[in-house]
Amino acid sequence: MRAADLIVLLGTVGFIIAYGAIKTRGQRDLHSYLRSGGEKKWWAICLSIMATQASAITFISTPGQAYQSGMGFIQIYLGLPIAMIVISYLFIPKFYSLNVYTAYEYLEGRFNVKTRYLIAFFFLVSRGLGAGITLYAPAIILSTMLGWNLNMLCLLIGVCVIIYIYVGGERAVSQTHVIQMAVILCGMAAALLMLIRYLPSGVSFTDAVYLAGKMGKMNALDTSFNAGERYNLWSGLLGGFFLSLSYFGTDQSQVSRYLGGESPNQSKMGLFFNGMVKIPMQFFILFSGVMVYVFFLFHHSPDFFNTKALEQAPLSMQVRQQLADRQQEHRQNDDMMKQAALDAIHYKNTALENAGIAKLRALQQQDLELRSDVKKIIKTNAPQVETEDSDYVFLNFVLNNLPPGLVGLLLAVMFCAAMSSIAGQVNSLASTTVIDFYKRFYKKDATELHYVRSAKIATLLWGAAIIAFAVSAPLFDNLIQEVNIIGSLFYGTLLGVFIVAFLIKRIGGGAVFYAALLSEATIIMLHVFITLTHFRLSYLWYNPIGTALVVGISGILTVSGSRKTLPAG
């Protein structure tokens, strides 16, 4: 690593750790440690919500997804603004009226203690798994660039985050989020500006957008109704709405961000602005991936983006010669694509426009076939190398094309994103463990200082568990999708329970408890069936299906008189 990059990276990360630990040390009561003392303004809430959601996966995987398949992923967020409004007027008043530390405390008063335990347990499982993948993402960066041991990197990153969470709790999480978001936005803006600057002479920004559009990369909306497509307008509006409603309304990693607000109105404003800013921010990140695609139209790209792993693979000379031959073919095709792209721009708004675009598309198809051949060779001769390389696209561009110092800044962006998201998740896992299990079940009448110390111990234990799980993340093909899939397996059930709690007063604890168990079992079996049979159904539909199952089953049990035979608590 170049000295300038190392200075920027270590300086940024070191400052955040020191600031978070020193600024928030010495807390001795739960209100400060788990709810930031109830002092957060709306803008801090908004930034903290965004920082928790925008993990390093967002900045590694999302641009690669846009490079491969365009802007369609943005449709997953179309239901988010509506969800923010519903949460502001339905969830926040309930939580504030009871002065709860976690969302699941509310369920005991509304239903019974076992429903509270069940939903809190579902949260711990889903968030613990998701946090493990979130931790793995930045480890890709340094292991790819420096050749360090991946497991040691997971340990290093996890420890860096745990230091200031352990010391300052939610207050440390909130205050460091502001700095981390500033670094993230500045770094991504710098990367996009460099991508525009790298356009060849005579190719304008408008020309770049034109090419991306003609090659299908700017198609942000798919209005066709197809339940098998992961991303379209309808799955985004309905499935995305339920996913957002579940995540921001029932997931403690987000609920704790706004429960520390100065007032309910400050929390509502924080959510409103998150709903307004999130889609433009995600568009910006995806568009950066599209511009990476345009960049590689005019510059040579690798035929396999996970280049470091391939270099280290134990391949025979014969296999390496095969790959070298494919690389030569790929470079020749690159040269033809560059000329075809320039011709397409020149032919714009002329009779030759369609012919120019058709030629470019044909060359792109040849490029895809060459890349597919390379992956087949790698998979046959080095099965330990992950051939799904979309998560390496943006990283490859950063490491090989940006100037000294800016590489360090982009690495700091990904590191900050990982730290901000992991911090929020570990803090919420610890708070749920202490409030919903330890304090409620084991030790009800201890001092505030005792519970703060217990939360710190829970922070250490969850940090260790997340680090241990992170080493299995390479099993997944696309990190950003896997995080959403894990969440969707549980979020529908969680949301269904809260919908019943808020809106259907007739349904009691016994019915909703068994409905939640049946709903979760059904969603998991559905996912296993889809995985094994390759049946086409977007994971976004798990959220409304799970919600409908809880509401429907609990309603049926209640109407049929099952409430009389089911234990109430």
Give the gyration radius of the chain's Cα atoms.
25
Query: Residue 228: its pLDDT value, please?
Result: 63
Nearest 5°: the CA angle 142, 144, 149 is: 70
Averaged pLDDT for residues 355-374: 91
Q: Which two tokens mark 253? A: 């990693």
More confident of the two residues 482 and 281? 281
Answer yes or no: is pLDDT of 178 > 80.
yes
Answer yes or no: is pLDDT of 483 > 90.
no
Query: Residue 141: its pLDDT value, please?
Result: 61
**Taking Cα atoms as reference points, which of 135, 154, 133, 65 lies closest to residue 391?**
65
**Taking Cα atoms as reference points, which of 368, 134, 86 lies closest to residue 243?**
86
Q: What is the dihedral of CA 73, 79, 80, 85, to 10 degrees?
A: 170
Count the alpha carbons within 13 Å of 562 in the hemisphere toward its beta carbon: 18
Q: How confident is the model over 270-295, as pLDDT tens digits?
A: 999 998 998 999 999 999 999 999 99
Averaged pLDDT for residues 505-512: 90
Most confident of 271-275, 446-450, 466-470: 271-275
Averaged pLDDT for residues 488-516: 91
First and final C-alpha spacing in the chain = 59
Answer yes or no: is pLDDT of 138 > 80.
no
Contact partners, residue 78, CB within 8 Å, separation at least 6: 233, 236, 237, 240, 241, 279
Query: Residue 476: its pLDDT value, please?
Result: 52
Query: Residue 538: its pLDDT value, please?
Result: 77
Q: How confident is the model over 28-78, as pLDDT tens digits?
A: 778 888 887 778 899 989 988 888 877 777 787 889 889 988 888 888 888
Answer yes or no: is pLDDT of 563 > 50.
no
For the chain, what percent of residues have pLDDT higher than 90? 35
Answer yes or no: is pLDDT of 383 > 90.
no
Query: Residue 568: its pLDDT value, please?
Result: 53
